[in-house]
Structure 1
Amino acid sequence: MSSTLIKNALIINEGKSFRGSLLIKGTYIEKIILEGAPLPKADTEIDAEGLLLVPGAIDDQVHFREPGLTHKAEIATESAAAVAGGITSYMEMPNTNPQTVTIEELEKKYRLGAEKSVANYSFYMGATNDNVKEVLKADPTKVCGVKVFMGSSTGNMLVDNKETLKNIFREIPMLITTHCEDEQIIQKNMAIYQQKYGENMPFKYHPEIRSTEACYKSSSLAVELAAKYNSRLHILHLSTEKELSLLNSTLPLEQKRITGEACVHHLWFTQDDYEKYGSRIKWNPAVKSQTDRDALREGLKNNLLDVVATDHAPHTLDEKNSSYFKAPSGGPLVQHALLAMMEMAEQGIFTKELVVEKMSHAPATLFRIEKRGFIREGYYADLVLLNPKADETVTDESVRYKCGWSPFSGTTFKHAVINTWVNGHLVYKNGNINTKQKGERLVFKA
């Protein structure tokens, strides 16, 4: 069983930063050694003087586009981008082609993950207006949760039947994750703006179409249903200040039945950025006002919001370089999400300890993932070594995404990922990916 000693690092974990070393043996963290204590022998030694050692980030919302949409992305390329960005585990969404709305299609996707993913993986079961009985067949120890699109989506994945929603929240014991935007409000707004501007509508009106009203109406319905049936509800990519009033900051995360996620793009950009970036920052829900962005940042700090994710959703530049009504929503983020959060910590918006809490510890706790998300002896060695003085500028040419672009192009980040370990294996080192080493299927406590 091979061993690796990472020595002299600044370790950031469980609310503390301290100098020390760490011994990996096989798949697991064998020992955490405080500064000054004797160091054990190991097959490989890495001197991490001046570097930060953090637990691998866990991204609870990605779209890797496989199967069926592989002209945009694939599990192999996007999982490689993830580990290059310090994300060692991800949970992938069901709106692929075919959609992951049956156990058969779900298990096909898990086989793809085992074959192609260099990061650890889980895949959501998708809900529709007519597949609740099928969703109930999913094993909650082997599947991260069920995804409910309460806003527009592809195909028949928009769940807009009120009785179906009641059944989902009443009957499904798994964690229910939701995309919350009210479709009727969106369609009404869209008709108004399309009539006014036609195909030349400026992107800056995207948050007026996918408005605060649309988000809050849908999110409040989800919370109402979850409270009524005591469901476990996790609201994805919250984008407005108003929605934070639906959440609770007083309970420990382990006791919360209703939780919320913030995405990196809603924490970084504002509607003032549409003028510069246009379709590159067109997401659903929309990037909104600076007031909303600042409220989301505060929501993370006061524990109204529980985790930070990406909603990584690549499209080709040809697709994105279209007029407003033709350009699809979504963009690639996994390679730079951790770096963007560390940049905000560098600016004094967050602490680095909070970044690690919201990107590593909290997803592991919320989803009840077995032995991941923390630097603890006996836990999987999912680890990231960061250089805090790298000053690297993102370019479209430097990204690993199959789509070949990033909304962060032109941005300089102080931090850079040097090494990433997944299950004790060094899968990313100084720009190189070990594609032979595959990740593992995540396991969840019942």
Structure 2
Amino acid sequence: MKSLLITQAKIVNEGRIFEADVFIQDGVIAQIAPQLSVAADVTIDAAGQHLLPGFIDDQVHFRDPGFPAKGSIATESKAAIAGGTTTFMDMPNVKPTTTTLENLEAKYELAAKTAWANHSFYLGATNDNIEEVKALDPNATCGVKIFMGASTGNMLVDREQALTDIFTHSPTLITTHCEDTPMIKEQEALYREKYGDAIPMQYHPDIRCREACYKSSSFAVDLAKKTGADLHILHLTTAEEMALFAPGPVEGKKITAEACVHHLWFTADDYAEKGGLIKCNPAIKQQSDRDAIRQAVKEGRIDIIATDHAPHTWEEKQSDSYFGTPAGLPQVQQSLTALLDMVHDGVFDLETVVQKTSHNVAIRYQIEKRGFIREGYAADLVLVDMNRPHTDTRENNLYQCGWSPWEGHTFKSSVMSTIVNGELKYHQGKFAEFTPGQRLTFTR
């Protein structure tokens, strides 16, 4: 493994921005100092660039195994590297579902051969796999995922006793997708009666309604308080839900919250242009909701920012049928630069972006020695040029599905280099030879 010296970087870490050199050896950060005079195999002059800890994305759907036309661990993790993501946590609704310990380990075996980035995988909960949950080694997974709405096959957990059992007995962090399915079904029937299958996409946030979100997320919060469970609610979308979560630092919280990049960017007004490309569950809602979520990020009610990267083929997204258009959008290649646009626009500062995409994820998931720029920590780093614009084009997208909801948009910043476990895997538009990322370890 080559040693690496990064000079004159503006380091963004733990609430500070300061200029320093960073020396990386044997995969870890060996030294951080204002000026280092050390011999290195590779030196990067980072003058004018910002050095961030790599994005740790706690929610992706890389579609592997089972859906190669949509994406794979190989294709999507490579795109993630180009976007500044050094670690991902992948969801269990693949084929076969990751709802047994055997399937969980099989997925790690696949990633050991194909993942460009560091990784962990969720064990999926069902109405009847409580014994698998009880037998789970808490250090073998990032967490237990419960779909309390919007899932396929047997992964919708809608029995109250099953939910109580999982919340009571899970040996590790529980993450939830919160929507109330019966309420959604009622709305679907109403709109189908009026429009048939050709429901205009603008009604998606009315069908996947705010009431369905709040009913489910408030129930999850109440159940976590009752059982003492460690709960993290994913991709929140409504202003009302923000009041469910306490402001302030993530340390010590038993109930935490996440927002996704697309819900911080798009609003219901964008359905007119984007249509089914931005159909996702839970739905992108009103500007007032987006603004409330942005404010909650700044207040600390939202502890983590992730992507919920969920690719579908271009052809699938062109369906004339509302019900035939699958929910989900790809974004790991654009997620960091989208957030950096929000920095340029004065929505967030750089320190907050780093806190929500790296520090807090490492703290909440108890990830061992990652998520910070500290001596002795894994060298998972990204260099960005805040003043180097680039336009998102179909030709530049690395996803298996080949498209992005930001296509045509010119971002104000660019990812210049991505370092994973001390290896310069992406640099100025070019990739190094493939080497696999590492399976995450935890301090639980």
So what's the TM-score if we normalise by structure 2? 0.99
1:391 positional shift:
1.1
For the residue of structure 2 that corresponds to 1:419, the secondary structure is: strand
1:80 positional shift:
0.2
Matched, 1:345 2:330: no
Q: What's 1:319 paired with?
A: 316
The farther-off stretch of 37-46 and 300-309 is 37-46
Q: Check whether the contact 1:260–1:306 (CA below 8 A) recurs between aligned residues.
A: yes
Whichever residue aligns with residue 304 of structure 2, its letter is: V
Aligned to 1:47, which of 20, 45, 51?
Answer: 45
1:367 positional shift:
0.4
Q: Residues 227-272 of structure 1, C-alpha deviation per residue, up to 9 Å, x if partnerless? A: 001100000000001011110114x312000000000000000000
Q: Residues 284-330 of structure 1, C-alpha deviation per residue, up to 9 Å, x if partnerless? A: 00000000000000000000000000000000011111121110000
1:2 positional shift:
3.1
Whichever residue aligns with residue 254 of structure 2, its letter is: R
Aligned to 2:426, which of 417, 420, 428?
Answer: 428
Whichever residue aligns with residue 72 of structure 2, its letter is: E
Q: Check whether the contact 1:426–1:434 (CA below 8 A) recurs between aligned residues.
A: yes
For the residue of structure 2 that corresponds to 1:189, the secondary structure is: helix
Q: Check whether the contact 2:267–2:284 (CA below 8 A) recurs between aligned residues.
A: yes
Aligned to 1:189, which of 181, 187, 190?
Answer: 187
Q: What's 1:244 paired with?
A: 242
Q: What's 1:355 paired with?
A: 353
d(CA) in 2 for partners of 1:98, 1:318 = 24
The correspondence of residues 52-63 of structure 1 with structure 2, limited to 5 A, is 52-63=50-61
Q: What's 1:11 paired with?
A: 11
d(CA) in 2 for partners of 1:400, 1:319 = 18
> What percentage of aligned pairs have identical amino acids?
54
d(CA) in 2 for partners of 1:147, 1:226 = 14
1:138 positional shift:
1.7
1:140 positional shift:
1.0
Q: What's 1:270 paired with?
A: 267
The correspondence of residues 178-257 of structure 1 with structure 2, limited to 5 A, is 178-250=176-248, 252-257=249-254
Aligned to 1:281, which of 278, 283, 289?
Answer: 278
Q: What's 2:305 paired with?
A: 308
Call closer, same or farther: CA 1:38–1:85 in 2, change over 3 Å. closer
d(CA) in 1 for partners of 2:36, 2:25 = 17
Aligned to 2:131, which of 114, 130, 133?
Answer: 133
The correspondence of residues 147-166 of structure 1 with structure 2, limited to 5 A, is 147-166=145-164
Q: What's 2:117 paired with?
A: 119
Whichever residue aligns with residue 40 of structure 1, its letter is: V
d(CA) in 2 for partners of 1:311, 1:417 = 20
d(CA) in 2 for partners of 1:407, 1:416 = 17
Q: Residues 79-109 of structure 1, C-alpha deviation per residue, up to 9 Å, x if partnerless? A: 0000100000000000000000001111000
Whichever residue aligns with residue 289 of structure 1, its letter is: Q
1:119 positional shift:
0.1
Q: What's 1:401 paired with?
A: 399
d(CA) in 1 for partners of 2:309, 2:395 = 18
Q: What's 1:443 paired with?
A: 441
1:435 positional shift:
4.4
1:221 positional shift:
0.7
Q: Check whether the contact 1:173–1:231 (CA below 8 A) recurs between aligned residues.
A: no
Give the unaligned 5+ runs of structure 2: none
For the residue of structure 1 that corresponds to 2:354, the secondary structure is: helix
d(CA) in 1 for partners of 2:374, 2:200 = 49
d(CA) in 1 for partners of 2:312, 2:432 = 26
Moved >3 Å (runs of 4+): none
Q: Check whether the contact 2:168–2:227 (CA below 8 A) recurs between aligned residues.
A: yes
How many matched pairs?
443
Whichever residue aligns with residue 234 of structure 1, its letter is: H
For the residue of structure 2 that corresponds to 1:191, the secondary structure is: helix
Aligned to 1:65, which of 52, 63, 66?
Answer: 63
For the residue of structure 2 that corresponds to 1:169, the secondary structure is: helix
Q: Check whether the contact 2:150–2:281 (CA below 8 A) recurs between aligned residues.
A: no
For the residue of structure 2 that corresponds to 1:331, the secondary structure is: coil
Matched, 1:2 2:7: no
d(CA) in 2 for partners of 1:300, 1:283 = 21
d(CA) in 1 for partners of 2:399, 2:36 = 42
1:74 positional shift:
0.3
d(CA) in 2 for partners of 1:112, 1:151 = 28
Aligned to 2:288, which of 281, 291, 298?
Answer: 291
The correspondence of residues 172-183 of structure 1 with structure 2, limited to 5 A, is 172-183=170-181
Q: Check whether the contact 1:279–1:320 (CA below 8 A) recurs between aligned residues.
A: yes
1:38 positional shift:
4.4
Q: CA RMSD for the aligned pairs?
A: 0.9
Q: What's 2:81 paired with?
A: 83
Q: What's 2:387 paired with?
A: 389
Q: Check whether the contact 2:92–2:123 (CA below 8 A) recurs between aligned residues.
A: yes
Q: What's 1:334 paired with?
A: 332
For the residue of structure 1 that corresponds to 2:145, the secondary structure is: strand
1:436 positional shift:
2.3
Whichever residue aligns with residue 8 of structure 1, its letter is: Q
Q: Check whether the contact 1:63–1:312 (CA below 8 A) recurs between aligned residues.
A: yes
So what's the TM-score if we normalise by structure 1? 0.98
For the residue of structure 2 that corresponds to 1:101, the secondary structure is: coil
d(CA) in 2 for partners of 1:12, 1:353 = 6
Q: Check whether the contact 2:50–2:383 (CA below 8 A) recurs between aligned residues.
A: yes
